[in-house]
Amino acid sequence: MVFKAAFKHELLSSLRSKSPQLVVTVFLVLTSISSIIGWLTVRNVTKIYNDIVSQNLTKAPNPFTNVPSLYYMRDSVIYVVLIGSLMSIILGAQASLRDRKSNANELIKTRNVNLVHRILGQLSAIASIIVLLEIVALLTSFILIWVIQKTPLNIGAVFSLLGYGAVSAILMIALAAIGFTFGTISKSEESSLLYPIVGWALVTFTIPQIITSIHPVALLNPTPAVSTGTGLAQSVINVISPLAVMENFKAIANAILGVDKSIQLSLVDLLSFSLFAGVGVMASVVISSKSFGRKLDA
């Protein structure tokens, strides 16, 4: 009963709160129109290519001839890493902060409430919102690609799209759980958002930047990796690569969508991503239930 009540309560509260509404809208709009952006890119490059060909400046084939149908989803991966991650952290943090700001956590602590069930109810509601957003974004992409290509995606591409949606949702649910934890344990509302966002920035930008410096691979527009051989540099990469969760996600997403042959999927990517998601959610439930009821600093 507690799980169900918390689930319903969280759905209502999250969907009515203004700050989550804003990031949810931005995420939905960007991921939904990512196919249009991809299509515009192809159209513009093709137009320039045709001009160059008409001037006999090249005989090379159009780089966009025979691009896979899911090529148009390429930008969507970046939006999940950037906007989707922030949206999830905010959704999670706001969920636990709501109890603390309203003093409702004091009321709840004076009831016989199974806190683990309650937290699972809240996280499940946030997960449902994320899954729903992914479904809307993917459905929009499916329709837009159909319109752009004048033919629907084949069954294989549909499965790839669904697989990509599932991996994106897992990443965002894990980040929401981390946001939820910081919303429970931080001393102030500001720090509960600041800490996970700083952590996200480290994982998204700093660690890949270190890897890029050692082992030149572009961050958001990957190019084929240049081997630097073995030695200290490679050892550093081996140690910090699993921490670059967003790079791991991008590798998995690209492998599923099949849009970027330059990114190689490794077992380390899969393992570290799975570990991040699993440990993130489990740690959130344990830490949040143990720390429930902490007051915010006045």
Partner 1 sequence: MTKEIAIAAKNITKNYGEKSALNGLNLSVNRGEIYGLLGHNGAGKTTTVSIFTTLIQPTSGEATINGHDIAKEASQVRNSIGYLPENVQLYEYLSVFENLEYLGKLSGLKNPRNRILEVLDLLEFKSHLHEKVSTFSKGMKQRVGVAQAILHSPEVLFLDEPTSGLDPEGVIQLREIISLLNKELGMTIFMNTHLLSEVTKLCTQIGILKNGKLIYENSLSSTIDSFDETDSLEDIYFKIDGASKP
Under rule CB under 8 A, residue 1 binds partner 1? yes
Under rule CB under 8 A, residue 109 binds partner 1? yes
Under rule CB under 8 A, residue 124 binds partner 1? no
Binding mask 16-55 for partner 1 (x = CB under 8 A): xx--------------------------------------
Cβ at position 108, least distance to partner 1 in Å: 6
Cβ at position 106, least distance to partner 1 in Å: 5
Under rule CB under 8 A, residue 291 binds partner 1? no
Q: 104-108 long-range CB contacts below 8 Å, 24 or more apart?
A: 105/292, 105/293, 105/294, 106/293, 108/292, 108/293
Under rule CB under 8 A, residue 104 binds partner 1? yes
Under rule CB under 8 A, residue 189 binds partner 1? no
Under rule CB under 8 A, residue 5 binds partner 1? yes
The piece of 9-17, 58-66, 174-182, 243-251 that touches partner 1 (CB under 8 A) is 9-17
Under rule CB under 8 A, residue 103 binds partner 1? yes
Under rule CB under 8 A, residue 180 binds partner 1? no
The piece of 23-31, 101-109, 170-178, 257-265 that touches partner 1 (CB under 8 A) is 101-109
User: Of the candidates 26, 108, 214, 219, which one interacts with partner 1 according to CB under 8 A?
Assistant: 108
Under rule CB under 8 A, residue 294 binds partner 1? no
State whether the Cα torsion 56-60-63-67 is positive or negative: positive
Under rule CB under 8 A, residue 112 binds partner 1? yes
Cβ at position 116, least distance to partner 1 in Å: 14
